[in-house]
Amino acid sequence: MLTLDKFEEASKIVTEVTHETKLVYSDYFSEKSGNMVYLKPENMQLTGAYKLRGAYYKISTLTEDERKKGLITASAGNHAQGVAYAASKYGVKATIVMPTTTPLIKVNRTKSYGAEVVLHGDVYDEACEYAYQLADEHGYTFIHPFDDLAVATGQGTIAMEIFKELPLVEYILVPIGGGGLATGVSTLAKLLNPKIKVIGVEPSGAASLKESFAKGEVSTLSSVNTIADGTAVKTPGTQIFPYLQQNIDEIITVDDDELIVAFLDMVENHKMIVENSGLLTVAALNHLGFKDKRVVSVLSGGNMDVITMSSVVQQGLIFRDRIFTVSVLLPDKPGMLAKVSQLIADNQGNVIKLEHNQFVTTNRSAAVELRITLEAFGTDHKGQIIKALDEGGYKPKIVRTSL
């Protein structure tokens, strides 16, 4: 059972391996959402995510024989690092099965803690099935990433810390993949204050708990499709499902495009790297149906590889109209490019890339196409540049940006 005594026990134990992640008040997100928004930066943990809490507490509850058999788990990355690090602290072997789609940074960091990594399957569920097979073959002790009450108890220590810093918290937003974090946080929150509201946030392309709530039983999605790889789970936990039903007040789903913009907002306003799954609660701030409340958004992790980071930043700039591409048709005459460039410069546009196509029509003297990729200050500035091009007689047309 998830009891207050167990949560208190876990809170003491996890301090042996966790950093103190103090709440960060966000002026930016508070003003944007109309609430008093605090961030719980679990991306700042040693392993880059909250998962270390549940893994370490779970292993602390095992017998010596269970540990000596060796540990095994399946994970999209953050639980993997948590188990690997916790196992190293206890001096026991750990085998981690990870989906083949796991970001390289998560694979390498898991290996760096001394664990053996096995890549299998495209999503977590396939990796988990294989991990169970290996556990049966070798007698390993399985550490489930979310469908385990001890693991959920360890994750719930986040709520204990939130209440110590912000006793008057009214809403807590938690990301949901399999539901372990949401189970621990929501259960302890309700024990400490039954009036508090806990909102779970899922990616629209992997909303397995929302589907399960709608059907009244644990349900499995046919597929998942989201950039939030840490929450790309087809089936929520069965052991923890009753706790989720009882303690989660609402589920919000977030599209991938919203996560991209949230990443840009977080980097620019808080100088923090938060992975897509960890940004679910930030993106959900735009969907809240209330104002002037004390809200805590749990940032569950920050393990993102540089290539993904670069792609997300570029897409975020495009979504925010900070980068755009415009097509204009010009007579194929000397000096035309200089005239367009000067007009853009007069309106403080910054040219990133030019593509000059002489073969857009059969009559080159009538028109050639010039595609200009520009950097702007935002939507209003973009509109100003487009208007200037139009008034200059260039008949601009917005086209898809390709960086």
What residues act catalytically? 51, 300
Cα→Cα distances 371→43, 318, 351, Å: 40, 16, 11
How far CA 392 is from CA of 326, 331, 343, 385, 389, in Å, comes to: 14, 14, 8, 11, 5
As a dihedral over the C-alpha atoms of residue 207, residue 213, residue 217, residue 218, rounded to 10 degrees, the angle is 20
Tokens 């540049």 belong to residue = 385
Beta bridge partners of 190: none
Phi, psi angle pair for 137, to nearest 5°: -70, -40
Six-digit token string for 91 = 């001096």
- Whole-number Å distance between alpha carbons of 231 and 252: 14
Let me know the angle formed at the C-alpha of 199 by 194 and 205, rounded to the nearest 5 degrees: 155
CA distances from 286 to 35, 242, 248, 253, 299 (A): 10, 28, 19, 11, 16
Handedness of CA 383, 389, 391, 395 (dihedral sign): negative
HSE, CB side, 13 Å, CA atoms: give it for residue 237.
25
